[in-house]
Structure 1
Amino acid sequence: MNKAEIIETINGFLVEEFEVDGDTIAPDANLKDTLGLDSLDYVDLVVTVEMNFKVKLGEADFVGIATFQDFYDLIENKIIAKG
């Protein structure tokens, strides 16, 4: 899966599952503010990512994740590490 496919998949489930306006999703936009995430939403986000990409995410993975680009990079790195 290449970076464009990762971004398309992530943006797709954010629009569908989290009812986010696709126009508000931009690489440099703040992830938490744009999505309006609370702690339960983070759990849903982790489950959705794990189902779509077959990678595991932990609380420590979100340290330093501020923008959508950070999040895309995290998922891409997890996929690469999984091999």
Structure 2
Amino acid sequence: MDKNDIFLFVKKYFVDTFEIPEKKIDLQSSLFDDLELDSIDALDMVGMLEAEMNIETNEKELKTIITVQDVVDYIIRKTSNQNNTNLNSQVTV
């Protein structure tokens, strides 16, 4: 998945789960101010990341997620780390 695919995935998730109008969602949208999510919604999002993207979340890192861009970057970073870990575990000498 490239960055645009991840953005579209996240956008669809917000539209389908929280019924946020699609036009309200862009990379700069604040999760809590612009999209009006609350802490329960944030927990739902974390559950989705863990289930759908197979990402192990870290509470400290999650506190830095404020915008849709932050969500996209977090997914890219975590899936990139997973891919590197998977590649490293497959290397034999």
Deviation, 1:62, is 2.0
Q: How does 1:3-22 map to 2 (within 5 A)?
A: 3-22=3-22
Moved more, 32-41 or 48-57: 32-41
What pairs with 1:59-78 in structure 2 (closer than 5 Å)? 59-78=59-78
Larger radius of gyration: 2
Could you say which residue in structure 1 is the equivalent of 2:28? 28
* Aligned twin of 2:43: 43
Aligned mates of 1:34, 1:47 — CA distance in 2: 21
What residue number does 1:56 align with?
56
Identity of aligned residues (%): 30
Single out whichever of 55-64 and 4-13 deviates more from structure 2: 55-64
**Between Structure 1 and Structure 2, how many residues are aligned?**
83
TM-score (norm 2): 0.79
**Structure number with higher helix proportion:** 1
TM-score, normalization: structure 1? 0.87
CA contact (8 A) 1:18 1:35 kept: no
Q: 1:23: Cα distance to partner?
A: 0.6
The letter of the residue matching 2:82 is K
